[in-house]
Chain A
Amino acid sequence: MYDLIVLGAGPGGYEAAAHAGELGKKVALIEKKHIGGICLNSGCIPTKTLLHSTKILQVCKEAEDYGIKAGKLEIDYRKIQKRKKEVVALLLKGIEGKLKRSGVEIIWGEGQLLSKNAIKVNEKSYETKNILIATGSRPAVPSIKSIDSSNVLDSTAILELDKIPKSLTVIGAGVIGLELACFFNEMGTNVKVIEMLPHIAYQMDTEITSYLLKSLGKKGIDFALTSRVNTIDKKEISYMDENGKTETTQSKIILNATGRLPNLENIGLDEIGILYDDKGIKTDLQGKTSVSGIWACGDVTGRCLLAHAATREGIVAVNNMFGKRDTMRYKAIPNVIYTHPEVAGVGVTEQMLQQEEIDYQKNLLPLNVSGRFIAENEKKQGYVKVLTGTRYHEILGVHIIGGAAGEMIYGAATFIEMEMRVQDIKEIVFPHPTVSEAIKETICQIK
Chain B
Amino acid sequence: MATPVIIPRVGNTVESCIIGSWKKKEGEKIEKGDILLEIETDKTTFEVEAPTSGILLGTFFKEGDIAPVLTIIAVIGKKGEEFESYRPQPEEEKKELLEQLVKEKYKEEKEITGVEKETIVDRKAIGEEDRTSGGISPRAKQFALAHGINLDGVTGSGPHGRILERDVIRYFHTAPRYSSLARELIDKSWTHKGTYSGIGGMIVKEDLRQPGKKLSTIRTTIARHMHTSLIKTAQYTITISARAEAILFLRKKIKSVIGKHSMPDITINDMVMYAVIRTLVSYPEINAEFIDGVVYQYKDVNLAFACDTPRGLIVPVIRGAQKLSLKELSLAVEKLSNGAVSGKIAPDNLTGGTFTTTNIGSLGIENFTPIINTPQVAVLGICTIDLKPVETGEGVKFIKHIKLCLTADHQVIDGAPAARFLVALKDNIENFRNIAGLNI
Q: Which B166-216 residues sit within 8 Å CB-CB of chain A?
A: 179-182, 184-185, 197-199, 202, 204-205
Q: Is the interface of A mostly helix, strand, loop or mixed?
A: loop
Collect the chain A residues with CB atoms within 8 Å of residue B182's CB. 419
Q: Count of A residues near B, CB < 8 Å?
A: 10
Q: Give complex CA distance A136, B347 in Å.
A: 71
What are 29 pairs between A and B in contact, CB < 8 Å? A327-B197, A329-B197, A329-B198, A392-B181, A392-B184, A392-B185, A394-B181, A394-B205, A417-B198, A417-B199, A418-B179, A418-B180, A418-B198, A418-B199, A418-B202, A419-B179, A419-B180, A419-B181, A419-B182, A419-B198, A419-B204, A419-B205, A420-B179, A420-B180, A420-B181, A421-B180, A421-B181, A421-B184, A424-B180
**Which residues from chain B sit less than 8 Å from chain A, CB to CB?**
179-182, 184-185, 197-199, 202, 204-205
Q: Give complex CA distance A419, B199 in Å.
A: 10
Distance in Å: Cβ of B173 to nearest Cβ of chain A:
15
Q: Give complex CA distance A394, B204 in Å.
A: 11
Distance in Å: Cβ of A88 to nearest Cβ of chain B:
33
Q: Give complex CA distance A169, B197 in Å.
A: 45
Collect the chain A residues with CB atoms within 8 Å of residue B179's CB. 418-420
Distance in Å: Cβ of A324 to nearest Cβ of chain B:
11
Distance in Å: Cβ of B179 to nearest Cβ of chain A:
3
Q: Is the interface of B mostly helix, strand, loop or mixed?
A: helix
Distance in Å: Cβ of B84 to nearest Cβ of chain A:
42
Excluding A329-B197, A329-B198, A418-B198, 4 further A-B contacts by CB distance (< 8 Å) are A392-B184, A419-B204, A419-B205, A420-B179
Kindly supply a per-residue 1/0 record for chain A positions 394-412, scoring 1 wherever the CB is within 8 Å of any chain B CB and 0 otherwise.
1000000000000000000
Q: Give complex CA distance A424, B205 in Å.
A: 16
Q: Which A194-249 residues sit within 8 Å CB-CB of chain B?
A: none
Collect the chain A residues with CB atoms within 8 Å of residue B199's CB. 417-418
Q: Give complex CA distance A421, B180 in Å.
A: 7
Q: Give complex CA distance A394, B202 in Å.
A: 16
Collect the chain B residues with CB atoms within 8 Å of residue A329's CB. 197-198
Closest residue on chain A to residue B182 by CB atoms: A419
Collect the chain A residues with CB atoms within 8 Å of residue B202's CB. 418
8 nearest interchain CB pairs? A419-B179, A419-B181, A394-B181, A424-B180, A419-B204, A418-B179, A417-B199, A392-B181
Q: Give complex CA distance A417, B205 in Å.
A: 11
Closest residue on chain A to residue B206 by CB atoms: A331
Collect the chain A residues with CB atoms within 8 Å of residue B185's CB. 392
Q: Give complex CA distance A421, B182 in Å.
A: 10
Distance in Å: Cβ of B156 to nearest Cβ of chain A:
28
Distance in Å: Cβ of B196 to nearest Cβ of chain A:
9
Q: Give complex CA distance A420, B178 in Å.
A: 11
Q: Which of B181, B198, B199, B205 has the most CB of A within 10 A?
A: B181
Collect the chain B residues with CB atoms within 8 Å of residue A392's CB. 181, 184-185
Q: Give complex CA distance A327, B207 in Å.
A: 13
Q: Give complex CA distance A421, B181 in Å.
A: 7
Distance in Å: Cβ of B194 to nearest Cβ of chain A:
14
Q: Give complex CA distance A420, B204 in Å.
A: 10
Closest residue on chain B to residue A420 by CB atoms: B180
Q: Which A329-363 residues sit within 8 Å CB-CB of chain B?
A: 329
Collect the chain B residues with CB atoms within 8 Å of residue A421's CB. 180-181, 184
Closest residue on chain A to residue B204 by CB atoms: A419
Q: Give complex CA distance A392, B182 in Å.
A: 10
Collect the chain A residues with CB atoms within 8 Å of residue B184's CB. 392, 421
